[in-house]
Amino acid sequence: MIPGQVVRIPVGTQAHILTKEGKKINEEVSGKKAKTGEEVNMPATAFGRCLSRLHNRTFKVALMVPLYLEETDSINMTEFMIRQQKNFSPFRFVEFLEGALIASDSLKEQGMNLRFYVYDVDQTLTKTAKVLTRPELKNMNLIIGPFYSRSFNQVALFANHFGIPIVNPLTFRNQILNQYNNVVKVTPDQHEELSQVSHLIQNDYAQDKVFVISQTSYKDAAEVSALRDSIQKILPDSVYYPNFDLINIGIAVTQRNKDEKRLAKEKENPGIAETIPVTKTTFNDTLDTYYLENHPVNPEILKDFQYDTSAFANRMIYINYARDSLHPFDANASILRNNLVVIFGNDKSFVMDAMNRLNVLRDTFNIKIIGLPLWEAIGTLNLHQMNNMEVTYPESYFVNYSSSGYKEFSNTFYNRNATSPSRYGVLGFDITYYFLESLFRYGNRFMLCLPTHKGTGLSTQYKFKPVKSGSNNFENTYWNWLRIRNNHLIKLPDKLLDKQVIQEK
């Protein structure tokens, strides 16, 4: 294989994975099998009236994926047959293409007239510029990719000039939404994490003592401030504890203080150990004052009201970790309810140190953790500690490998490519299928209809909104919220993040 050589990738005739999905699409649109060209009214939206019909025109879609074809002649076939070369550039993103081809074949089977163009575009600007000279590109209905920021900027400028919608499939950067028009960002932004976490806390941690820890006071200061404000707004002003429980804590504290004094005397004079009586503290003894959640508690006063409750101010506690370490946590943590710690930061050393210290304190306190932002970019953390504290965090990609949909896709992928799909294979399928289906339904108006066209892929959902009012740039807002519990990774129900749930309470 040499640079410039035409590469024909066999796709076979086994792309049956979305036969069910095709039926599902038709049922959603009309309640029966829709025919090509059949129009079905959709609700009027702020973006215009979206009419869903299966268009019979021919759509042209470009996929720009880094294939590094010029490097394929450097592969050592003998070495490759012995062991897989995972770092070989041409293999890095080829599965995205393979997943995309399954999606395109699936839509063709449903009746979509599609001309699917694949271009080898990596981070090299000269290579990208050469691709942009291809005469057919200016007539595309959609461009998916490129993957690298420099080449994407170059192609987005081209697409903007010709009014072609362009999809960025992988980046977390939101700058692309401010520089060009007709841009769709598939990966959600971290600000969406922050807007959802307060709903999660109110729906799932409403009675917990809440702490927010950031690495320093100045790093991500605006985001941390917004996070603190949003959490404090949804917390109840007060929590109420039964006086009976507070008295029992007073008994335990008084007993502990007695034992400590006794041990201190024995240490000073071992010979008198047998003369010091061992007593057990009871309700009738005089009980010591103690602190709970940094509030003084006098159990002697509560004895006359043992069947009532006492109110405690329910403030969220902010911790500047670089300055205070976990001392504010020690002073304010509760032994009567769960303690939720929101760790804000994606510096791995900071996160690991904070988790190590919190894990030690589990002997005294019940601790849960929410990790923000973009913890999926940190890499491997201590899974034992994450399980101990039921760490919850948002992830842009999550696959239920036991689902029938994934199994069917995996079988199709394996039959066509003799390998199981990795992350890029699944993303290639999900992203390509969603946008091709959008084109098939809405034609050239598909961009305006993205907010009403919800999609569920194998790895995530697609819920797009305009970047700002009147904008023709869109960003996905959906995060998979995951939790490690009982040594299993589970996906939280979407209702825990639904603002309507909060309003209905």
The yes-or-no verdict on residue 15 having pLDDT over 50 is no
pLDDT value at position 69?
86
Ranking 34-38, 234-238, 312-316 by mean pLDDT, the lowest is 34-38
Domain with CATH 3.40.50.2300 in the chain: 21-188+399-472, 191-237+314-395+500-504
Positive or negative, the Cα torsion across 468, 469, 474, 476? positive
Compute the distance between CA of residue 131 and CA of residue 124 in angstroms, rounded to an integer. Answer: 11
| Amino acid making up residue 115 | R
- Backbone torsion region of residue 204, taken as left when φ is above 0, otherwise alpha when ψ lies between -120 and 50, otherwise beta: alpha
Compute the distance between CA of residue 343 and CA of residue 323 in angstroms, rounded to an integer. Answer: 15
pLDDT value at position 64?
98
pLDDT value at position 25?
33
Ranking 8-17, 171-180, 441-450 by mean pLDDT, the lowest is 8-17
The yes-or-no verdict on residue 239 having pLDDT over 60 is yes
Residue 468: pLDDT band (50, 70, 90) is confident
| Amino acid making up residue 169 | P
Average the pLDDT over 334-363 and give the result. 96
CA 161 and chain centroid, separation: 33
The yes-or-no verdict on residue 437 having pLDDT over 60 is yes
Q: Which residues fall within 8 angstroms of residue 40, CB to CB, at 6 or more apart? A: 29, 30, 34, 51, 52, 53
Higher pLDDT, 126 or 76: 126
Higher pLDDT, 181 or 34: 181
Q: Which of 17-31, 189-203, 400-414, 467-481 has the highest mean pLDDT?
A: 400-414
CATH topology of domain 21-188+399-472: Rossmann fold (3.40.50)
- Tens digits of residue pLDDT in 32-55: 333 333 333 334 344 456 877 788
% of the chain surpassing 90 pLDDT: 71
pLDDT value at position 334?
97
Question: Measured at the alpha carbon of residue 43, what is the angle toward residues 37 and 46, in degrees to the nearest 5?
Answer: 115
Backbone angles phi, psi at 474, to 5 degrees: -130, 150
pLDDT value at position 329?
97
pTM for the complete prediction? 0.84
Average the pLDDT over 238-257 and give the result. 96
Please give the CATH number for the structural domain made up of 191-237+314-395+500-504: 3.40.50.2300
Ranking 100-114, 159-173, 275-289 by mean pLDDT, the lowest is 275-289
Compute the distance between CA of residue 310 and CA of residue 498 in angstroms, rounded to an integer. Answer: 32
Q: Which residues fall within 8 angstroms of residue 205, CB to CB, at 6 or more apart? A: 338, 340, 368
% of the chain surpassing 70 pLDDT: 84
- Nearest by Cα to 459 from 432, 426, 489, 491: 426
Which residues lie across from 456 on neighbouring strands? 461
Average the pLDDT over 240-268 and give the result. 91
Ranking 30-34, 165-169, 373-377, 380-384 by mean pLDDT, the lowest is 30-34
- Tens digits of residue pLDDT in 267-303: 877 766 566 667 899 999 999 999 999 999 999 999 9
Query: Contact, 372 vs 394, CB < 8 A?
Result: yes
- Nearest by Cα to 191 from 156, 222, 157, 153: 222
Query: Contact, 451 vs 47, CB < 8 A?
Result: yes
The yes-or-no verdict on residue 19 having pLDDT over 70 is no
Report the interhelical angle of 404-417 vs 423-442 (nearest 10°).
Answer: 100
pLDDT value at position 451?
93
